Amino acid sequence: MSVLVDEDSRVVVQGITGGEGRFHTEQMLAYGTNVVAGAVPGKGGKQVAGVPVYDTVSGAVREEDADASVVFVPPAFAADALFEALDAGVDVVVAITEGIPAQDTSRVYRMLEETDTRLVGPNCPGVITPGEAKLGILPGNIFESGSVGLISRSGTLTYQIVDSLTSRGLGQSTAIGIGGDPIIGTDFTDALGLFEDDPATDAVVLCGEIGGEDEEAAAAYIDEHLETPVAGFIAGRTAPPGKRMGHAGAIVSGSGTGTAQSKIDALESAGVPVGDTPEEVVDHVADLLD
Amino acid sequence: MKLHEYQAKEVFAEAGIPTPAATLARTVDEAVTAAEELGYPVAIKAQVQVGGRGKAGGIELAADADEARAVADRVLGMELKGYSVDRVLVEDAVDFVNELYVGVTMDRGVGRPVAMVSTRGGVNIEEVAAEEPDAIAREHVDPAFGMFDYQARKVVHEAGIDRAVAGDVASVLTTLYELWTERDGADAEINPLMVTDDNEVVAADAVFNVDDDALFRQPDLAEMEEETAGDELEAKAHEYGFDYVRLEGNVGIIGNGAGLVMTTLDLVDHYGGRPANFLDIGGGARAQRVANALEMVFADENADAVVFNIFGGITRGDEVATGINEALDQFDAIPKPVVVRLAGTKARAGMEILDTDRVRVEETLEAAVQAAVTAAEGVDG
């Protein structure tokens, strides 16, 4: 068991003919992901890495029974690609694209309310269920199948923690990169809910960072609804207010909201042990699983 | 990207929002001429992109030519919160009876735009929001439909705006919302929106921040961007395409991925050092990018040591190591201690390739940060 994606997921890659799309399609196939189609306007009938390309996402759904999409479309066209995926009715859309204008994402988010599709991202490394499927750009070789669920706003920080988990023999059920943008389709609370319902997940790592109030909301949700134990990490303790730390969403506002301390306090008061270092988080996970 | 007040006012005025008559001046003489033409009293306002200009002495009224000259002379060239003032806006001083607040921003938690109105204009609205959240009326807008007229009327009513000006304030808000949508605003604010004794409303200040990710489709706004940072290294980072924030500590930090770089900063602090910067070189680590990043941190006189932390995901560690070696070849000498930590795919092979005569190699993030902190302290001593 796992969440969001597994060996049965039938994946369509939007933007498969671009450099990133092509490269990561090869990587996803090499990992064993069931990539059944690509979708690029005007490129129907071609093949990329042996995968048939369709002009529309609907075509890929109709002809290849695609039920999950991963999006490598450039920012100016990404929102349109996401609308198309929602319209085609896939179950899961993973938006890798970084730099989508916030007002575009806001409209996508609005459309999402009208559908049953789950959007992950944008500006995220993707989703991986080790040994079964990966949708996105995560390096598959550092993951190991197991019972730890992972939710993170960041890419390489996720890899850092996964690498430590794996080297300590703590495999992962599914890892979800939820993305570093201010507006994202799946937030910590949504992802926690998915793991809570997954019998294969025995503990969850929540890897947050400065900006917004999503970690605080997650802490309240954990306190009220979660049986599965959670360990936390928050990046950006030393970030100065008003400076965007790489991610569009990672900024402590002038009025002092979105600080690391506020998030750490909220998580700790919900009973979530928060590591001072990535290694400490892994220690906490090991303790939770004992 | 932030617009200057005078730029934002041009954009607002073009959309039909009332703004005071004003002229931009870059010299004292220009300022006095502008004041003479406008008629007194005038407000002379430093054009720097920081909040709280008034309190910091960057905004002052002048009642005649002598005062205008004295104020312009003092404000032009002054240092305001780290920015030097090279232009002032000379503006017809509005005789007001009331100061309101009107704003539009994206509510990231809700994923929708929110319009805000308050009778508490003219002060720091973030403080009002923190201390008296009920003093600001808010209305979320469905981005599929845009703001309905009734929503503008409703939020103005709920803010307790006087009936005599409520219609005009609602109209300003509607225009501001449309502007925010069409021009890809991140934040649009009028604070204060002044009310005159004959019940006219005038935007006495204007804030317009553009969504950086949307600049590609706002070419005329993108053209207004200028090197205002004043910080040479931040300008350089912009040129190289790095995400970079300059801090004041003694340990320079280079890494890939925002979350991991932030974590490296935090670890430097955790182990008793002080981060000198945030520098994300992004995916991969090609030699030229690594060299550019090293050049920046070497040029930062505050940084006494460098920690270089790369997690090779798809990019293999041996390729990263080759890139680092090639980058090091571009320097005649390595001016400060560099500690490198590689992890992920082929990290072991990478560490064996690295030139340990020029860099120190550590296996874990924690050890690398500790080594850099210690090295920086040694230089301090």
Q: Please report whether residue B324 resides in a domain.
A: yes
- Which residues of chain B lie closer than 8 angstroms to A138, CB-CB? 313
The C-alpha angle with vertex A47 and arms to A45 and A51, in degrees rounded to 5, equals: 115
Domain borders along chain A are: 1-123, 139-290
Which distant-in-sequence residues (6+ apart) come within 8 Å of A75 by Cβ?
A: A97, A98, A99, A100, A101, B213, B216
Query: Do residues A250 and A263 lie in contact, with contact meaning Cβ atoms separated by under 8 Å?
Result: no
**What would the pLDDT profile of B120-158 be if each residue is shown by its tens digit?**
998 888 888 888 889 999 999 999 999 999 999 999 999
**Minimum Cα–Cα distance from A215: chain B residue:** B109
Give yes or no on whether A1-123 and A139-290 have one common fold. yes
Q: Please report whether residue B35 resides in a domain.
A: yes
The range of the structural domain enclosing residue B366 comes to: 232-380
User: Is A142 within 8 Å of chain B by CB?
Assistant: yes
What is the pLDDT at residue B284?
A: 62
Q: How many domains does chain B have?
A: 3
Tokens read off for B304: 């006494």
B375 with B338, same domain?
yes
Are residues B106 and A102, on separate chains, in Cβ contact within 8 Å?
Answer: yes
User: Is A26 within 8 Å of chain B by CB?
Assistant: no
- Which residues of chain B lie closer than 8 angstroms to A207, CB-CB? 259
B361 with B282, same domain?
yes
What is the pLDDT at residue B230?
A: 58
Of B109, B269, B365, the CB nearest to A213: B109
How many contacts, defined by CB atoms under 8 Å, are there between A and B?
Answer: 174
Kindly report the CATH number that applies to the domain delimited by A1-123.
Answer: 3.40.50.720
- pTM higher than 0.90: yes
What is the pLDDT at residue A255?
A: 63
User: Is A32 within 8 Å of chain B by CB?
Assistant: no
Nearest-Cα distance to chain A for B246, in Å, is 10
More confident residue, B26 or A256: B26
Q: Which CATH superfamily is A139-290 part of?
A: Succinyl-CoA synthetase domains (3.40.50.261)
Are residues B345 and A101, on separate chains, in Cβ contact within 8 Å?
Answer: no
Q: Please report whether residue B321 resides in a domain.
A: yes
pLDDT (average), residues B313-342: 86
What is the pLDDT at residue B225?
A: 80
- Which residues of chain A lie closer than 8 angstroms to B147, CB-CB? none
Nearest-Cα distance to chain A for B10, in Å, is 23
Q: Point out the domain boundary residue: B179, B195, B222.
A: B222
Tokens read off for B193: 């929106």
Q: Is the pLDDT of residue B19 over 80?
A: yes
CATH number of the domain that residue B168 is part of: 3.30.470.20
Of A102, A155, A212, the CB nearest to B257: A155
Q: Is the pLDDT of residue B346 over 70?
A: yes
B139 with B237, same domain?
no
B257 with B336, same domain?
yes
Are residues B258 and A209, on separate chains, in Cβ contact within 8 Å?
Answer: yes
According to DSSP, the residues that pair with B185 across neighbouring strands are B210
Q: Please report whether residue B227 resides in a domain.
A: no
Window 64-83 of B: residues touching A by CB (8 A cutoff) are none
Residues of chain A above pLDDT 90, percent? 92
What is the pLDDT at residue B285?
A: 65
What is the pLDDT at residue B381?
A: 45
User: Is A80 within 8 Å of chain B by CB?
Assistant: no
B131 with B206, same domain?
yes
User: Is A253 within 8 Å of chain B by CB?
Assistant: yes
Tokens read off for B281: 């070189």
Distance, CA of A288 to CA of A228 (rounded, Å): 10
Residues of chain B above pLDDT 70, percent? 97
Q: Please report whether residue B259 resides in a domain.
A: yes
Peptide bond into B192 cis (omega under 30): yes
**What would the pLDDT profile of B271-311 be if each residue is shown by its tens digit?**
999 999 999 988 766 788 888 999 999 999 999 999 999 98
CATH number of the domain that residue B292 is part of: 3.40.50.261
Extended beta strands in chain B, E state: 22-25, 42-46, 59-62, 79-80, 83-84, 88-92, 96-107, 112-118, 136-140, 185-196, 201-203, 207-210, 243-246, 251-255, 277-280, 305-312, 338-344, 360-362
Peptide bond into B143 cis (omega under 30): no
Q: Please report whether residue B247 resides in a domain.
A: yes
- Which residues of chain B lie closer than 8 angstroms to A212, CB-CB? 108-109
Distance, CA of B188 to CA of B92 (rounded, Å): 22
User: Is A199 within 8 Å of chain B by CB?
Assistant: no
Nearest-Cα distance to chain A for B94, in Å, is 28
Task: Identify the three-state secondary structure at position B309.
Answer: strand
Please state, rounded to an integer, the average pLDDT across all residues of chain B. 92
In this structure, the number of other CB atoms found within 10 A of the CB of residue B236 comes to 16
B346 with B324, same domain?
yes
B252 with B365, same domain?
yes
Q: Is the pLDDT of residue B380 over 60?
A: no
Active site residues of B: 101, 189
B29 with B133, same domain?
no
User: Is B218 within 8 Å of chain A by CB?
Assistant: no
Instruction: List, as one string, the DSSP characters of B126-168.
Output: HHHHHH-GGGEEEEE--TTT---HHHHHHHHHHTT--HHHHHH
Could you say which residues of chain A have pLDDT below 50? none
Of B112, B216, B263, the CB nearest to A278: B263
Distance, CA of B212 to CA of B1 (rounded, Å): 6
Of B313, B343, B365, the CB nearest to A138: B313
Extended beta strands in B241-333, E state: 243-246, 251-255, 277-280, 305-312
Are residues A235 and B111, on separate chains, in Cβ contact within 8 Å?
Answer: no
The type of residue at A200 is A
Distances (CA, A) of B150 to A163, B93, B117, B170, B173: 54, 33, 14, 9, 12
User: Is B363 within 8 Å of chain A by CB?
Assistant: no
User: Is B51 within 8 Å of chain A by CB?
Assistant: yes
